[in-house]
Amino acid sequence: MMRSLYAGITGLRNHQIRMDVIGNNISNVNTVGFKSSRVVFQDIYSQTLSPSSGSTATIGGTNPKQIGLGAMLATVDVLHTSTASQYTGAPLDLSIEGDGFFVLSIGGQTVYSRAGNFYTDGENFLVNSNGAFVQGYPINTDGTPNISGDLENIKLSEDYYDITIDSTGAVVGLKKGSVGGGSNEKVVIGQIAVATFSNQNALEKVGQNSYRNTINSGVAVIHIPGEDGAGTLNPGTLEMSNVDLASEFTDMIVTQRGFQANSRIITTTDAMLEELVNLKR
């Protein structure tokens, strides 16, 4: 059979995958903290009809003669490009300005996310919309974070009111008075942590706006927001999706034309084979 027939099939398969990725990007155009993906193709190895040869005293060198055998999927990249934040005014909404991910614990597993739409559950633990606990450093008696301790679930104690979160992730509240009312004493009751990775592009999406680390991403390095290269927090805001609709629709057109062109390869090759079959009548 002709090589072009199978080359066209590889092109159809790859453009279908690219269209799947584009469709997923567009469907998440309004998903908080979503990072879009892109598809990159590469050629399959080529069949060598004759190798190259060097020149001699009597004849010059020749180039190799090769026929490509189609295309294949090189990678599906997640684009961790920065994007704008949307102001919500909700005191527990957070976005990260710069590098880093929120550290979450759900079902005994640790995952990471850029989506900072947080709430309190029935026991006053800080959670996301899926019930994952937001992780942070324990607090020493002097109000400083114990960065040498293990991360723990952050609890917004009922002993405090007017609880806010600042740009460094410190959860601050005013201590309630002993006989009703309250005081002006601000107390740090929690410290949100963020994680960075040596290769964040290798993180694996696990749904629900979350990622988990892989062998190629490296282990998570935990920081206080704003320290050691980690991003700071923007209270009262949520990170918007980085999907660019203009770019996605343009890619959709290019992908559609690529699919049509590869379909034409198959139909044209089929017509040539039909002519070959009809030689003997």
Residues 123 and 216 in one domain: yes
21 alpha carbon, distance to own chain's centre: 13
Same domain, 115 and 23: no
Query: Which residues neighbour 33 within 8 Å (Cβ) at sequence distance 6 or greater?
Result: 95, 113, 114, 115, 116, 209, 238, 239, 241
Q: Do 72 and 107 lie in a common domain?
A: no
Phi then psi for 125, rounded to 5 degrees? Answer: -80, 145
Per-residue pLDDT of 123-146, as tens digits, reads: 999 999 999 999 999 999 888 999
Q: How many domains does the chain divide into?
A: 2
Q: What are the tens digits of pLDDT across the range 80-98?
A: 999 999 999 999 999 999 9
CB-based burial label for 137 (10 Å; 0-12, 13-18, 19+) = buried
Q: What is the dihedral of CA 153, 159, 163, 168, to 10 degrees?
A: -50
DSSP, res 173: E
Q: Is position 59 within any domain?
A: no
Residue 1: its pLDDT value, please?
A: 59
As a whole number of angstroms, the distance between CA 223 and CA 239 comes to: 20
Positions of the chain with pLDDT under 70: 1, 177-183, 281
Q: What is the predicted pLDDT for the residue at 180?
A: 56
Task: Give residue 280's pLDDT.
Answer: 72
The angle subtended at Cα 191 by Cα 188 and Cα 197, nearest 5°, is 165
> Does residue 61 lie in a domain region?
no
Q: Let me know whether 20 and 157 are in one domain.
A: no
Q: How many CB atoms lie within 10 A of CB 159?
A: 10
pLDDT of residue 176: 80
d(CA 231, CA 210): 18
Query: What's the pLDDT tens digit per position in 203-243?
Result: 999 999 999 999 999 999 999 999 999 999 999 999 999 99
**Tokens matching residue 13:** 């398969």
Shortest CA distance to 136 belongs to which of 103, 113, 91? 103
H or E element in which residue 23 lies: helix 3-27
What global pTM score does this model have?
Answer: 0.88
Q: Indicate the length of the chain as a whole number.
A: 281
Tell me whether residue 218 is in a domain.
yes
Same-domain status, 112 and 197:
yes
Q: Which domain holds residue 140?
A: 86-239
